[in-house]
Amino acid sequence: MSKNLMSSSDEIPKLSKDLCNRLLQDLERAKRPVLYATKCSLDNAIYNHKVGFFTPGSKKVATELNVSSVKKMSRAIFMLEILLRNLDTGAVNTKRELYYISKGEIKHNPDLKPLDFADQDESDEIIDFICELLECYREELNCYANDRGGQTYSQQLVVTETLPDGDKAVVDLSKLGTSPFQPKNRPQNLKLSAKKKIDFCLIVESEGTANTLVANGFTKRHNSILMGAGGVPSNAVRGWCKLIQDQLRVPLYFYGDLDAYTMQNIFRTLKAGSASSLIRNEDFSAPEVRFLGVLPEDIKKYDLNDYPVKENDAQEVRALKKASDAMKNDPFFLDKKNKGLTQILKWLLEHKRRCEQQAYFTVDPRDPTMPEKIIVEKIKRGDYV
Amino acid sequence: MDMAKKSQPKKSAPATKAKASDKKAAAPKATKTKESAEESAAIQQAKSSSSSKKGITTSSTAEYFSKNLQQVGFSSQVKAVLTTLKEAVDNSLDACEENGILPEVTVTVEKVGPGSLKNSDQVRIRVEDNGPGIDPEDVPKVFGEYLASSKFGRGRCSRGQQGIGISAATTWAQLTSAVGARVVTKTEKMRKAVRCIVEVDIKNNTGVLKEKDSVDWEKPHGTSVEFLIDGRIQLNGEAGLISYLNGTTLVNPHLTLHYKLPEMELHTVERVSNTVPEIPSAVEPHPHTMKLGEFIAHSHLFGRVKVGAWLKKGFSRVHEGTLKELNAAGIKNGIFEKLVDSLHESEFKELFMAIQNIPLMAPSTKSVLSIGEDAMAKSIKRLGAIDFFSVVSRKPTICDFKPVQIEVAVARLEDRSIEADAPVQVLRFANRVPLQFDKSACAIVHAIQSVNWRAYGLGQPKESLPQGPYIIAVSVVSPFIRFKNASKETIDGSDELVEEIRRALIQSGQRLSKHIRKEVKANELEEKLRHIEQFCPILVAGLARITKASDSRRKKAEDGIAKLLGRDARDTEKELKAAHDVLEEQTAKASQKNSKKAAEAEVEA
Ligand SMILES: Nc1ncnc2c1ncn2[C@@H]1O[C@H](COP(=O)(O)OP(=O)(O)O)[C@@H](O)[C@H]1O
Ligand SMILES: [Mg+2]
């Protein structure tokens, strides 16, 4: 099924009912029902640079009903009922809230006791399972994660949000002063426009550094959108970038640390999505985003402080290990269109050094706008990958 | 280091009904343990005897031990009680075994009052047996004289080895409560029993009788010995009396034991075997297992004999051909003609080095004794209610040139009051004597830890003991067990020995896993059946609500799912049956093997 952010509101209930009907029919015939879900892993991830993001291959995971899976299935149908009710009434919940709602249902109906979740991990797993079965996003089931990351600043951007009751809210980002705009998990309800031509969108890995750049006047001096990713991009950040790319058609640049973790877990996810989110990459990746820095050659050019990867830096050591695998079997890094990025990974593997985004601050310690100058210069010169 | 494993060269007959008196007179003695205490006293005695032919000077021996009791098991209040009991029980079992008697032993331990030592109680320990009894004239020697043993370093798998045990207990009693051992004993020939108190004359290493008396005793023969000592009674835990008695019953299937411990009813554990284990005859030490010092000490036991004769008689696997090879290796023939007590240390050294380089046959494994899988299988059920167990008797083998036999029993207890992640209970035995202290350094424990018990269904943290309500019992039987320290509580294991124990454990683990697998299958089936019962109606009801299906559809689906999942349950049932069959087969094979073994044994006999 093709994913589209604007999937009509009754599509999910209909899909669900069809699924349940099929299950019931099989059971009536004493036939073993088998459910298929897309396999979400690297070995089922296809990357084509013309598409720009990971798409699912043909592999499916089959779950058949048997004595061992009957518990999981029963739980899934139980949770699905709660979610369908939410869709019906328009109520939304987080996963944690759904955990408590399910607890409440069971409390009021002792017959359901065997379904009881021991902890939230168990109920989360069931919610994910439902998404896989219906091949839909969690958000389409009115289940939203905490919005995290993506604080955005701009003097030109205007966001129009359609509220559930049909009302429209208009946010002019230039009116927010030093406060950022926080994108939502439901990008489908947002409409973007520019008061004035926007030249580019800069996504900074650290929200703190994004904030510093703005405080020092970045958005005043440049017609731009400046966003802090806040580490590994959440769905909100990913969907937001995709929205900016599609609706505003401005170039996007990513500026973050030079290390294997940032390259694979942050930048790659932003640009092409991830293997574990195969079914949502279409709406949650911005293939046009470019890697502005820190580039390996920047270290020499700007005499930046870099340092060797410490052995006790577990995260980076793991990322390096993953990188050497990625060079061999990650279709994204194998694609020749991404050769420049692969080159950076190779450099990281060879040198085992890293350089942080904040290193631009050493270039001229007395000039707070030095990082801004370097960034803008790099954009102007096409100094990115 | 192993001390000179010497036997009495002139007395080769395995002493049946040997009297303690001729033991002492027959030959000078040495110990065969490595402990400095026993060793130095023994060497001293051996030396003094070879230099002054008559009038053995033993005065220093008793004195030495009375000052060093901590080295032979009296290092704490708790240990004092356990050691005293252990020495007496060991002697009863040894005596019965040597005389082909099925042992029936009654143990009484009671608190009498406060002890004279700080934080101690006065404790009475009585052990009564149906053994052969002790010739009245030997009684003072047995209980009041050190190194008066019938079993001296004879390279046998007896429990007592050198005659320190029971005299040390007498000394402790004397030192802490001013009374020696109270003995009642009667041999088959006697009409009345002798009753007396034996004390150690420490200065002269002789036993002194007091209050000697003649009494009626309904027993045809037997011995009762009672000690009043200062100590502390510890019943529970690995170092407790109960663990000792449990262990003793496990490795002595032929023992009937009655015991009365403080705050407990009188308990009786009936024998499960009617065969008295045959103690194989002694073996001489093998030269390749000795160190130079032991080699020299060994020679002291022989007095004035020619070196050639000493080598041939005093060691196993050394014969005329070996002397020729030694000669070819550069040892002058003249040396063999010399008297052993006139050899210089340099000559000993030369001889020792040469013999180490000559290939010799490994020692015979005939000297070891086994409990047997059958007997152990019966015996283990005496430890308490057990779900299932497995026992493995390895064939006797050679480790580090010493004959050894490993036997293992693993059992799961029904009692689940033990925490699931508590380590298993380990019972260790050296020559059928339970070892209860310094567990962590013991070769047996190292071997247990080296096995991957998870493969057999037990929990086990990395490089640790497995967990759960299990008993793992390991018995090491060898005429030459090497201990790690003076108190003989830890077996010093070479890689070879640890590997041999490990193999036995792996075999028993594999057998055990079949039980565990069957149990897992049974649990699985139960869980599956419960799943069907619980979830089917919920699932169908949920589907029916979402699809707004009719009642008749719902009913039909309920029937359908029950049919469907019932099939799964039947599959599991089949698997359970298969696991059950595997187990049956194993049991059948084992009993077949055992009856075959028994038949073979009969033929041999
Ligand atoms: N209960 C007993 N019945 C018969 N003989 C005994 C008994 N206790 C001890 N003896 C004799 O006394 C000897 C000395 O005992 P002990 O000092 O414990 O030395 P060990 O047990 O090392 O030989 C034993 O070897 C045995 O011959
Ligand atoms: Mg003894």
The pLDDT score that the predictor gives to residue A98 is 96
| Percentage, residues of chain B above pLDDT 90 | 44
Same domain (yes/no): B382, B419:
yes
Report the gap between the CA of B288 and the closest CA in chain A (Å): 50
Same domain (yes/no): B423, B348:
no
Residue type, A200: F
Lowest mean pLDDT among A75-79, A154-158, A220-224, B566-570: B566-570
Task: Identify whether B62 is part of a domain.
Answer: no
Q: Per CATH, which fold does A200-381 belong to?
A: Dna Topoisomerase Vi A Subunit; Chain: A, domain 2 (3.40.1360)
Query: What letter does residue B466 receive in the DSSP assignment?
Result: -
B162 Cβ below 6 A of ligand 1: yes
Task: Identify whether B23 is part of a domain.
Answer: no
Q: What is the mean pLDDT of residues A73-88?
A: 95
Same domain (yes/no): B416, B375:
yes
Residues on chain A touching B575 (C-beta within 8 angstroms) = none
Higher pLDDT, B527 or B135: B135
Same domain (yes/no): B73, B156:
yes
Would you place residue B29 in the very low, low, confident or very high pLDDT band (cuts 50, 70, 90)? very low
The residue whose CA has the least distance to atom 9 of ligand 1 is B91
Q: What is the mean pLDDT of residues A86-99?
A: 93
Task: Identify whether B573 is part of a domain.
Answer: yes
B142 neighbors B128 (Cβ within 8 angstroms): no
Same domain (yes/no): B225, B305:
no
Q: Which atom of ligand 1 is nearest to the CA of B20?
A: 27
User: Residue B457 sits in which domain range?
Assistant: 365-513
Report the gap between the CA of A188 and the closest CA in chain B (Å): 28
Same domain (yes/no): B143, B251:
yes
The pLDDT score that the predictor gives to residue B34 is 35
B502 neighbors B447 (Cβ within 8 angstroms): yes
Same domain (yes/no): B339, B391:
no
Task: Identify whether B380 is part of a domain.
Answer: yes
B141 neighbors B256 (Cβ within 8 angstroms): no
Please name the residues in contact with A135: beta carbons below 8 A apart, sequence gap of 6 or more. Answer: A1, A3, A37, A38, A279
Same domain (yes/no): B508, B524:
no
Same domain (yes/no): B504, B552:
no
pLDDT tens digits along A228-264 = 999 889 888 999 999 999 999 999 999 999 999 999 9
| Record: contact A80-B557, CB cut-off 8 A | no
Lowest mean pLDDT among A275-289, B10-24, B337-351: B10-24
Q: Per CATH, which fold does A12-144 belong to?
A: Arc Repressor Mutant, subunit A (1.10.10)
| Record: contact A80-B546, CB cut-off 8 A | yes
Report the gap between the CA of B542 and the closest CA in chain A (Å): 6
Q: By the CB < 8 Å criterion, does A29 face chain B?
A: yes
Report yes or no on whether pTM surpasses 0.90.
Answer: no
Instruction: Please state, in angstroms and rounded to a whole number, the distance separating the CA atoms of residues B420 and B417.
Output: 9
Residues on chain A touching B556 (C-beta within 8 angstroms) = 27-28
Would you place residue B154 in the very low, low, confident or very high pLDDT band (cuts 50, 70, 90)? low
Would you place residue B115 in the very low, low, confident or very high pLDDT band (cuts 50, 70, 90)? confident
pLDDT tens digits along B388-401 = 899 999 988 888 87
Residue B498, CA atoms < 13 Å, CB-side half-sphere: 15
Q: Give span(s): CATH 1.10.10.10, chain A.
A: 12-144
Same domain (yes/no): B469, B544:
no
Same domain (yes/no): B315, B226:
no
Restricting to B residues 544-573, those with a Cβ less than 8 Å away from any Cβ of A are 544-547, 549, 553, 556-561, 563-565, 568-569, 572
Question: If we measure between CA atoms, which residue out of B255, B308, B316 comes closest to residue B280?
Answer: B316
pLDDT tens digits along A165-214 = 889 999 999 999 889 999 876 777 899 999 999 999 999 999 999 999 99
Q: Which CATH number goes with the domain that contains B186?
A: 3.30.565.10
The pLDDT score that the predictor gives to residue A361 is 92
The pLDDT score that the predictor gives to residue B150 is 56
Q: By the CB < 8 Å criterion, does B528 face chain A?
A: yes
Lowest mean pLDDT among A159-163, A204-208, B519-523: B519-523
Would you place residue A140 in the very low, low, confident or very high pLDDT band (cuts 50, 70, 90)? confident
Q: Give span(s): CATH 3.40.1360.10, chain A.
A: 200-381
Q: What is the mean pLDDT of residues A142-148?
A: 82
Ligand number, closest to the Cα atom of B128: 1
Report the gap between the CA of B565 and the closest CA in chain A (Å): 6
Would you place residue A4 in the very low, low, confident or very high pLDDT band (cuts 50, 70, 90)? very low
| Percentage, residues of chain A above pLDDT 90 | 74
The residue whose CA has the least distance to atom 12 of ligand 1 is B142
Q: How many CB pairs under 8 A join A and B?
A: 89
pLDDT tens digits along A324-348 = 999 999 999 999 999 999 999 999 9
Ligand number, closest to the Cα atom of B166: 1
Q: Write out the two tokens for B291.
A: 């160190």
Task: Identify whether B304 is part of a domain.
Answer: yes
Report the gap between the CA of B572 and the closest CA in chain A (Å): 10
The CA radius of gyration of chain A, in Å to the nearest whole number, is 23
| Record: contact B532-A114, CB cut-off 8 A | no
Q: What is the mean pLDDT of residues B20-40?
A: 38
Question: If we measure between CA atoms, which residue out of B508, B534, B535, B519 comes closest to residue B575?
Answer: B519
Would you place residue A9 in the very low, low, confident or very high pLDDT band (cuts 50, 70, 90)? low
Q: Would you say residue B35 has pLDDT above 50?
A: no
Residue of A nearest to B543 (CA): A20
The residue whose CA has the least distance to atom 8 of ligand 1 is B91
B20 Cβ below 6 A of ligand 1: yes
Q: Would you say residue B600 has pLDDT above 60?
A: no
Question: If we measure between CA atoms, which residue out of B406, B294, B353 comes closest to residue B34?
Answer: B294
Question: If we measure between CA atoms, which residue out of A299, A273, A303, A274 comes closest to residue A355?
Answer: A299
Domain closes at, from B513, B536, B570: B513
B207 Cβ below 6 A of ligand 1: no
Torsion of CA A87, A90, A91, A96, to 10 degrees: 40
Angle (CA) A385 A356 A376, round 5°: 50
Residues on chain A touching B526 (C-beta within 8 angstroms) = none
Number of domains in chain B: 4
- Dist. CA B485 → ligand 2 center (Å): 19
Q: By the CB < 8 Å criterion, does A14 face chain B?
A: no
Would you place residue B31 in the very low, low, confident or very high pLDDT band (cuts 50, 70, 90)? very low
Q: Write out the two tokens for B77.
A: 């209040």
Instruction: Please state, in angstroms and rounded to a whole number, the distance separating the CA atoms of residues A180 and A89.
Output: 32
Q: Would you say residue B572 has pLDDT above 90?
A: no
The pLDDT score that the predictor gives to residue B203 is 83
Q: Is B556 left (phi over 0), alpha (psi -120 to 50) or beta?
A: alpha
Q: What is the mean pLDDT of residues B282-305?
A: 81
The pLDDT score that the predictor gives to residue B435 is 92
The residue whose CA has the least distance to atom 7 of ligand 1 is B91
- Dist. CA B127 → ligand 1 center (Å): 13
Same domain (yes/no): B141, B245:
yes
Task: Identify whether B96 is part of a domain.
Answer: yes
Instruction: Please state, in angstroms and rounded to a whole number, the distance separating the CA atoms of residues A176 and A192.
Output: 16
Domain closes at, from B215, B243, B269: B269
The pLDDT score that the predictor gives to residue B299 is 84
